Amino acid sequence: MKYGYFDDNTREYVITRPDTPYPWINYLGSEDFFGLFSNTAGGYCFYKDARLLRLTRYRYNNVPTDAGGRYFYINDDGDVWNPSWQPCRKKLERFECRHGLGYSKISSSRNGLKADHIAFVPLGETCEVHRIVMENTANATKAFSLFSFVEFCLWNANDDSQNFQRNLSIGEVEIDGGAIYHKTEYRERRNHYAMFAANRKPDGFDTDRESFIGLYDGFHEPKAVLEDRSQNSIAAGWSPIGSHRFALTLKPGEKTSIVFILGYCENPNDEKYTALHIINKAPAKRLQEKFQTDAQVDAALEKLAVYWEGLLCRFRVKSGEDKLDRMVNIWNQYQCMVTFNMSRSASYFESGIGRGMGFRDSNQDLLGFVHLVPARARARILDIAATQFPDGSAYHQYQPLTKKGNSDVGSGFNDDPLWLITGVSAYIKETGDFSILDETVPFDNEEGSEAPLFEHLRRSFNYTATHKGPHGLPLIGRADWNDCLNLNCFSETPGESFQTTANFESGVAESVLIAAIFLYTAPDFIELCRRRGEDTSEAEQSFADMKRAVDEHGWDGDWFLRAYDAYGKKIGSSECEEGQIFIEPQGFCVMAKVGTDDGRALKALDSVRERLDTEYGVMLQQPAYQTYYLTLGEVSSYPPGYKENAGIFCHNNPWISIAECEMGRGTRAFEVYRKICPAYLEEISDLHRTEPYVYSQMVAGRDAARHGEAKNSWLTGTAAWTFVNVSQHILGIKPGFDGLVIDPCIPAALKGFSVERIYRGKRVVIHVDNSAGVEKGVKSITVNGKPHSGPVTSEGELTTVNVVLG
Ligand code: GLC
Ligand code: GLC
């Protein structure tokens, strides 16, 4: 069953009933200020860091789910309802939520009143703008009240949900005209406050939650709204909120609009106050002036639309296959932007207090983002590299606000360093900007330790090359890409971390996956060395040694092995009782061209199809672990079919698809792509449950109770890897150091397509003709009418490329 539809013209997903199988959310904000916004107006917003600078409160794990957000209540002659359906859940005559690129619109009607709510973060501003347009569609005059409501978070979301003995005494607000200021902790060490302002003077307000809602009442029955009377309460401790009341009268056909700004403002330390206890509102006033009128709001929306048009025209396909086109042209790229911005910090499954930016996650996220805003990818690379340790290893995570490595989690995830090489190579291939390699970057943010970025890559490379186990394969450390394969933590204590509890260091457990990632990245590293005039012999020797180790000790007969445990026993082998075959090394070894010339690659991929494939995607491993294995760690802690224990962990499905492209099997590559692709799952929303416009981290595997049910939508490396897969391998437009390498691998049934690409600042239009009906193989290429071989560069303003497959 569907709960909406794609509107490709407006680039929106239109939700037509509010009770979706799970809250279906959107992200507002592009750079510094962000909001999570669900189809029923739930969610919260923050400035830069979801943990440290959270403006509004949100309770995860709440009952009912998704309670709390930016709510508007209408009291129409005693009939109390919300345009967003939640929280009053009154029946609406019409409901529509349009999630668009950086904004959401909710429109609904009840009893002759129509409400249009649009929410967005204007480009370059540190606020959400909410505009409510009320229209009287009845044939008699209507007098009613409109109430706004947000609940403030006391900034640090972690403390906010724990430290009640303090929190309940520190809340402070100030009121000034239509504006409510939340200034908790401003009197001491903060120089920022939040503002919830309206563009006209309200008829009443509330800032104390208990006064507005009542102590034993819920969001769905706020006392002030039911009584149709604001209390004009001034919060003193307890729970500060912001609510305005407007008494409105509309004649038949008449409309009125009110603009609300929910924003973050900062003052220099010596300009915090204008009088005792009176905060300096200058920055707030400046922000308010920008959104006083509808015309200003419309102009900001237009700017946002132009911004997204400018981004999405950088890669656009026309294939005749609607679902493919809308995912590639709109939603996949949009999700890549969101994962680049958020890493794994804030979603409806990530609380925003748990994790910072991941070293491996962020490096992978930028693979799908770098073509959109290369300059931001560049800055991100330098931030990430600055958290690397001098020996080439890396902090697993860092905090976005401080940009410092997170020592609670520490390091020892031995795949981490290699992803830096992958990220930097992708940046250079996109931009041709080799100068990034000369940027000086410190180690562990230590002043004085600066070295060129290239030196960081060398240390990444050498770290793997020199930390090897008994079979000459890389030591796995705490885990590799699979965070849950914890071969050196024999955890028996409930609650302790499988990753960071260091109770055992075998110096023996090895990862075939890290070896494959090494072999995949090494050619780029070696090429960069060569171009810098460096001696490449040592790197080439390391490559050859690793290749030999994988050949000799990484093959199991019908597929690639996964790892060796702390006792040197095989993992992911037919010798094992459970966990005989894992997806990761099959994808990555083939991507690294291991066994592509001797039949092993095809054999491995056929084994994947035979043993791991399902209707809803490729499972991570089989058979699922039925019991907990001390020697394997978290992977065996999950019930069979979930997460890393034989779930369909979408992130590495594209690796299989890329590997299939490597082997020229376009029909199969596309099948793997399609099975987890959200637009193709729209019809089964009841089963799938998460948003049909974005990828989820995991879909329950065959062993699970609800095979096909997804969880953890939005923040997943699936977005970036899928975009790499579909754009570079299936459609086959692949940036290389010297230009675009064009080599599609598509289903034989697809007779052609065209792609428009902005590459290194210039427009390239590529027409691919597959009237021959092949899956792979370029017969001829012409560039601007002339026969061509090798990478395509974009020298003129417009480069036209004609590719014939055959
Ligand atoms: C999560 C992590 C990612 C890891 C994956 C597999 O998505 O964010 O870093 O690779 O799980 O365990
Ligand atoms: C848990 C999750 C895994 C994630 C990890 C991050 O182990 O299962 O997916 O990568 O936490 O620390």
Q: What is the mean pLDDT of residues 203-216?
A: 98
The CA 88 to ligand 1 mean position distance, Å, reads 38
Which among 361, 418, 699 is the best mutation to test ligand 1's pocket, defined by most ligand atoms within 8 Å of the CB?
361
Q: What is the mean pLDDT of residues 783-806?
A: 93
* Ligand 1, atom 6: closest residue by C-alpha: 482
Q: What pTM does this model have?
A: 0.97
**Is 269 exposed, middle or buried (CB count within 10 Å of its CB: 0-12, 13-18, 19+)?**
exposed
481 lines ligand 1 (CB under 6 A): yes
The CA 635 to ligand 2 mean position distance, Å, reads 9
pLDDT tens readout for residues 447-464: 999 999 999 999 999 999
pLDDT at residue 306 above 90? yes
Q: Which residues pair with 511 in a beta bridge?
A: 563
pLDDT tens readout for residues 2-39: 999 999 999 999 999 999 999 999 999 999 999 999 99
Instruction: Identify which ligand lies nearest to the alpha carbon of 482.
Output: 1
363 lines ligand 1 (CB under 6 A): no
State the closest ligand 1 atom to the C-alpha of 644, by its place in the atom list counted from 1: 12
361 lines ligand 1 (CB under 6 A): yes
pLDDT at residue 356 above 90? no
365 lines ligand 1 (CB under 6 A): no
pLDDT at residue 343 above 80? yes
358 lines ligand 1 (CB under 6 A): yes
Residues recorded for the chain: 806
pLDDT at residue 286 above 90? yes
76 lines ligand 1 (CB under 6 A): no
Which among 483, 621, 635, 699 is the best mutation to test ligand 2's pocket, defined by most ligand atoms within 8 Å of the CB?
483
The residues, ordered by sequence, that sit 6+ positions from 805 with a Cβ below 8 Å of its Cβ are: 744, 768, 769, 770, 772, 774, 776, 777, 778, 779
Interatomic CA distance for residues 319 and 754, integer angstroms: 7
pLDDT grade, residue 409 (50/70/90)?
confident
pLDDT at residue 400 above 90? no
350 lines ligand 1 (CB under 6 A): no
Instruction: Identify which ligand lies nearest to the alpha carbon of 360.
Output: 1
Confidence at residue 407, expressed as pLDDT on a 0 to 100 scale? 87
484 lines ligand 1 (CB under 6 A): yes
pLDDT grade, residue 535 (50/70/90)?
very high
pLDDT grade, residue 543 (50/70/90)?
very high
For residue 321, the tally of other CB atoms under 10 A from its CB is 17
The CA 581 to ligand 1 mean position distance, Å, reads 19
Percent of the chain exceeding pLDDT 70 equals 100
Cis peptide before 678 (omega within 30 of 0): no
pLDDT at residue 795 above 90? no
Confidence at residue 19, expressed as pLDDT on a 0 to 100 scale? 97
pLDDT grade, residue 473 (50/70/90)?
very high
pLDDT at residue 503 above 80? no
Distance of CA 247 to the CA centre of its chain: 41
The CA 158 to ligand 1 mean position distance, Å, reads 22
State the closest ligand 1 atom to the C-alpha of 483, by its place in the atom list counted from 1: 12
Contact 392/463 with Cβ under 8 angstroms?
yes
State the closest ligand 2 atom to the C-alpha of 396, by its place in the atom list counted from 1: 12
Which among 484, 485, 635 is the best mutation to test ligand 2's pocket, defined by most ligand atoms within 8 Å of the CB?
484
pLDDT at residue 178 above 90? no
The CA 447 to ligand 2 mean position distance, Å, reads 32
Residue 791 DSSP one-character state: P
pLDDT at residue 550 above 90? yes
* Residue among 733, 599, 716, 783 at smallest CA distance from 348: 716
721 lines ligand 1 (CB under 6 A): no
Confidence at residue 696, expressed as pLDDT on a 0 to 100 scale? 98
* Residue among 803, 692, 686, 685 at smallest CA distance from 743: 803
Interatomic CA distance for residues 802 and 806, integer angstroms: 13
Residue that is written with structure tokens 């490379």 in the block: 461
b/e for 620-635, b at 16 or more Cβ within 10 A?
bbbbbbeeebebbbbb
pLDDT at residue 272 above 90? yes
Interatomic CA distance for residues 722 and 333, integer angstroms: 10
Confidence at residue 796, expressed as pLDDT on a 0 to 100 scale? 85
State the closest ligand 1 atom to the C-alpha of 479, by its place in the atom list counted from 1: 12
For residue 767, the tally of other CB atoms under 10 A from its CB is 15
Contacts made by residues 683-687, CB under 8 angstroms, sequence distance 24+: 683/1, 683/2, 684/1, 684/708, 685/1, 685/2, 685/3, 685/20, 685/21, 686/1, 686/21
482 lines ligand 1 (CB under 6 A): yes
Confidence at residue 292, expressed as pLDDT on a 0 to 100 scale? 98
The residues, ordered by sequence, that sit 6+ positions from 445 with a Cβ below 8 Å of its Cβ are: 386, 387, 403, 404, 405
* Ligand 2, atom 4: closest residue by C-alpha: 483
Angle of helix 653-662 relative to helix 666-675, nearest 10 degrees, comes to: 170
Distance of CA 137 to the CA centre of its chain: 40
Q: How far is CA 363 from CA 46, 375, 426, 476, 680, in A?
A: 23, 15, 10, 19, 28
pLDDT grade, residue 504 (50/70/90)?
confident
Confidence at residue 712, expressed as pLDDT on a 0 to 100 scale? 98
pLDDT at residue 501 above 90? no
Q: Where are the alpha helices (DSSP H) in 171-293?
A: 209-213, 223-226, 282-290
* Ligand 1, atom 7: closest residue by C-alpha: 716
Mean pLDDT of the chain: 97
483 lines ligand 1 (CB under 6 A): yes
pLDDT at residue 106 above 90? yes
pLDDT grade, residue 750 (50/70/90)?
very high
Instruction: Identify which ligand lies nearest to the alpha carbon of 636.
Output: 2
644 lines ligand 1 (CB under 6 A): yes
pLDDT grade, residue 500 (50/70/90)?
confident
* Residue among 137, 130, 136, 147 at smallest CA distance from 87: 147
Confidence at residue 354, expressed as pLDDT on a 0 to 100 scale? 84
Contact 396/359 with Cβ under 8 angstroms?
yes
Residue 208 annotated in active site:
no
pLDDT tens readout for residues 639-666: 999 999 999 999 999 999 999 999 999 9
Point out the catalytic residue in the list 208, 483, 703, 743: 483
Residues having CB closer than 6 A to ligand 2 are: 483-484, 499, 634, 643-644
* Ligand 2, atom 3: closest residue by C-alpha: 483
Interatomic CA distance for residues 295 and 306, integer angstroms: 16
- Does residue 153 sit in helix, strand or coil? strand
The CA 360 to ligand 2 mean position distance, Å, reads 13
Q: Residue type for 220, please?
A: H
State the closest ligand 2 atom to the C-alpha of 649, by its place in the atom list counted from 1: 9
pLDDT at residue 401 above 90? no
* Residue among 132, 129, 103 at smallest CA distance from 117: 132
Q: What is the mean pLDDT of residues 277-283?
A: 97
State the closest ligand 1 atom to the C-alpha of 697, by its place in the atom list counted from 1: 7
The CA 482 to ligand 1 mean position distance, Å, reads 6
Residue that is written with structure tokens 């023996």 in the block: 508
Question: Of the ranges 66-80, 353-367, 709-723, which one carries the lowest mean pLDDT score?
Answer: 353-367
The residues, ordered by sequence, that sit 6+ positions from 694 with a Cβ below 8 Å of its Cβ are: 331, 334, 335, 338, 678, 713, 714, 719
Q: What is the mean pLDDT of residues 601-625?
A: 98
pLDDT at residue 782 above 80? yes
119 lines ligand 1 (CB under 6 A): no
The CA 646 to ligand 2 mean position distance, Å, reads 14
Instruction: Identify which ligand lies nearest to the alpha carbon of 638.
Output: 2
pLDDT tens readout for residues 382-393: 999 999 999 999
pLDDT grade, residue 98 (50/70/90)?
very high
Confidence at residue 794, expressed as pLDDT on a 0 to 100 scale? 79
